[in-house]
Amino acid sequence: SQILALTQYTHDSYYQVVITKYGGIRTLLRAMQMYPNHETIQASICTALMQFRNKVPILQHGGIQRIFDAMRRHESSIDVQSQALCALVSLLFGSDDEAPPPHQAELDVQCETLLTTAWYTQLQQHLDQTKDMFLTFEGKQCWDKLSAECERRLTA
């Protein structure tokens, strides 16, 4: 599929700029809506989304909701669950090895909004049911980071 081919280029920063400039992020997120039952597409797009340095277009086009929808639809998919969690961590908190992006303030606002809604509670409930059976080691690490950061922000 062309969507899967597009996801293969997201690891390269040059192609990230090109993909973002020409609406590729919106196309990826639309594909998540168009093919909600296609496990490979959902997992591949989650993997691709975590590669982008500029997270703002992903947030602006409903990326977090698309990722969460994929998690709910594919509860027993190790790939979707793990890649989706890692994409969420990447979107909301970045990675430990990268400097804060220039759009960090917008990400912080988005993160705070999510934490004050039922979203985090829904995610917790969902993962309490699935995390032990349906996460890779990397997925479990992402969940640990996500839950620790959310708890830290909630108690701050």
Give the separation between CA 46 and CA 80, rounded to whole angstroms. Answer: 8
Give residue 139's pLDDT.
86
CA dihedral 124, 130, 134, 137 (to 10 degrees): 40
Q: What is the mean pLDDT of residues 141-153?
A: 79
Give residue 114's pLDDT.
67
Q: What is the mean pLDDT of residues 137-156?
A: 79
Give the separation between CA 38 and CA 18, rounded to whole angstroms. Answer: 26
Dump pLDDT digits (tens) for 19-59.
999 999 999 999 999 999 999 999 999 999 999 988 889 98
| CA angle (147 as vertex; 84, 56 as ends), nearest 5 | 50
Give residue 33's pLDDT.
96
Dump pLDDT digits (tens) for 56-81.
899 889 898 899 899 889 988 989 98
Q: Encode 20-44 in three state secondary structure.
A: HHCCHHHHHHHHHHHCCCCHHHHHH
Sole residue written with tokens 């920063």: 13
Domain ranges of the chain: 2-155
Dump pLDDT digits (tens) for 76-118.
898 998 999 899 888 877 665 566 556 667 666 766 666 666 6
Give residue 98's pLDDT.
60
Residue 134 Cα to chain centre, angstroms: 17
Give residue 24's pLDDT.
94
Give residue 87's pLDDT.
92
CB 36 within 8 A of CB 70: yes
Kindly report the pTM of this predicted structure.
0.80
